[in-house]
Amino acid sequence: MKYKPRILETLVQRLEKDYPVVTITGPRQSGKTTFCRALFPDKPYVSLEPIDQREYARVDPRGFLAEYPEGVVIDEIQNAPDLASYIQGIVDDDPEPGRYIVTGSQHFGLTQAVNQSLAGRTAIVHLLPLSLDEAAAFDADIDDLWKVVFRGGYPGIYERKPDPRRWLSNYLRTYIERDVRQVSGIGNLEAFTRFVTLAAGRTAQEINYSSLGGDVGASHNTVRAWMSVLEASFILFRLPAWHPNLRKQLVKSPKVHFIDSGLVCCLLGIRSADDLRHHPLRGAIFESWVAAEIYKHRLHRGEGTGMYHFRQSRGLEIDLILQGSQDLIACEVKSAATIDRSFFRPLQQFDNLLERMTGRPRVSNRLVFGGDMAQKRTETDCIGWQTLHGQSWLP
């Protein structure tokens, strides 16, 4: 199938002009190999997935790198993590930009190698599953919200059009049996699998490690460590609590959002888009889908931080807060196709709260909903789900 352009291309092409190494991470099957081979057709390409190449890179790293004096794309470099140290020596002697492009799926293995050896020498970017605007390039039905959310964004589902449930079930099995098994400290894969399923049922909620640990039969610390594994391998991300006082912000509970909505549906046993349409968790799954789309929008443009949620003990909640240097975007998410006046109440209350602050930031209020038409209401932009990427989410 012909390569479909990705939003991340612009950022990577800019960074390769400034850094001798560009590191591209992301979940398994997010399209990193296809991306690199299409973006750098003139560079040699080598994958460390085959055992012979992996052993060559591990046993004789100098000889391996000497095969590519002008540079190379190295796929799945976490399979030979010591290679990063030898790349460091080469680029220290000759820091020519764009020499090495390295990728890795197991972020927990790759990050340690890169941070120890290539700090200051590499730019790190993340290629996540397809965003809605990227999926539009495929011959796929993206006019039905619940079909889109049920299917998720992994490129393999769009390229070969398999049954999403079967594809995602196989993906989960591969992820747990191959990737997670290699992480030290996770001996009970059955308990970990149960934990992933229970975590999916809590998407778009604040994390209560003790409650989740009680349900899965694991300690608070074990659940916290397992949550870090899911985050490091791009299954989910944690959304910190926003507070104008940074010290208070750090002690509040983060919210958890799964990056791929199709994966959530698979874990929860949702069998079709029609089942999802009437599922009791459809609102939470839609909220996580919106949060993940905005997360992709920002990461694929080089902006990873600055996303939060807000909750007061007396009840006021804002689903998403996006913080810039001077401005905020306050965003509520509703799965309903019809706008109700009550949807605006939290945003109005948040405005009232900020009015009492010293040095109040400028705030843009937004409502993302399950309808098709964008609308402008007093002080709030109402954004239909299909026009999500027509907005800037970089305040």
What is the rounded CA–CA span in Å between residue 374 and residue 393?
16
pLDDT of residue 324: 84
Start-to-end C-alpha separation, the chain: 37
Chain centroid offset of residue 383 CA: 22
- Return the closest-CA partner of residue 322 out of 335, 304, 346: 304
pLDDT(298) > 70? yes
165 Cβ contact partners less than 8 Å away, ≥ 6 residues apart: 265, 266, 271
Mean pLDDT of 325-335: 92
pLDDT tens digits, 187-227: 788 999 999 999 999 999 999 999 999 999 999 999 999 99
Angle between helices 107-117 and 83-93 (to 10 degrees): 40
- Return the closest-CA partner of residue 254 out of 293, 301, 310: 310
CA-atom Rg of the chain in angstroms: 22
Residue 252's pLDDT band, with cuts at 50, 70 and 90, is confident
Local structure of residue 18 (DSSP, 8 states) = T
- Interior angle at CA 221, CA 218 and CA 225, nearest 5: 95
pLDDT of residue 35: 96
Name the 3-class secondary structure at 188: coil
- Return the closest-CA partner of residue 265 out of 170, 380, 149: 149
pLDDT tens digits, 22-50: 999 999 999 999 999 999 999 999 999 99
Contact yes or no for 328/361 (Cβ under 8 A): yes
pLDDT tens digits, 148-184: 999 999 999 999 889 999 999 999 998 888 878 776 6
For the entire predicted model, the pTM comes to 0.93
Residue 346's pLDDT band, with cuts at 50, 70 and 90, is very high
- Going 298 to 303 to 305 to 307, the CA torsion angle's sign is negative
- To which residue do tokens 């989960």 refer? 172
pLDDT of residue 318: 96
Residue 109's pLDDT band, with cuts at 50, 70 and 90, is low
Residue 107's pLDDT band, with cuts at 50, 70 and 90, is low
What is the rounded CA–CA span in Å between residue 370 and residue 335?
5
